Structure 1
């Protein structure tokens, strides 16, 4: 195996093993847009959790739902491999 050349390091931005592919860029942009949406919705809202009704800022509910979705997606992606 040959060592990495300076040319291959330039393509990765000087970092080893980090390659900015179009898919990663799209995920990064969508993540930033999602965070802008979450933190743009700051008013309080009522949420029913099975029995109790909780009043919380909407951004907390959106962020929690997004994190739960990301964890579920990560779990199923790893299980598929």
Structure 2
């Protein structure tokens, strides 16, 4: 990570091994790695209380489903904010 390129109307990038990589991409990879590590570290079973039933599931599965639902909601909301043409 040596050169920073901040040209007008272009997203900020960092040069990594001779390739321009967006700073947002690096942040996404770091956060995804931390999420995967956190999910893998929590392997115990837990009880989930729904309205009527109570189910016992591995905590990693609960965390993974929560991550996927959160990512889907974030994607959906970001698409709604885009200007329509």
| TM-score interval for Structure 1 and Structure 2 normalised by the shorter chain | 0.7 to 0.9
Q: Which structure has the highest strand share of the two?
A: 2
Residue 22 (1) aligns with residue 36 (2): no
User: Taking CA–CA contacts closer than 8 Å with sequence separation of 6 or more, which of the two structures ends up with the larger relative contact order?
Assistant: 1
- Residue 14 of structure 2 corresponds to none
Aligned counterparts of 2:66 and 2:51: Cα–Cα separation in 1: 16
Distance apart, 1:11 and its partner CA: 5.4
- Structure 2, unaligned stretches of length 5 or more? 1-16
- Residue 76 of structure 2 corresponds to 75
The two structures have a TM-score, normalised by structure 1, of 0.75
Aligned counterparts of 1:38 and 1:21: Cα–Cα separation in 2: 26
Number of equivalent positions: 66
The two structures have a TM-score, normalised by structure 2, of 0.71
- Structure 1, unaligned stretches of length 5 or more? 1-9, 13-18
CA RMSD of the aligned region, Å?
1.5
Q: Which structure has the highest helix share of the two?
A: 1
Aligned counterparts of 1:51 and 1:39: Cα–Cα separation in 2: 29
Aligned counterparts of 1:54 and 1:73: Cα–Cα separation in 2: 27
Once superposed, which parts of structure 1, at least 4 consecutive aligned residues long, lie more than 2 Å away?
A: none
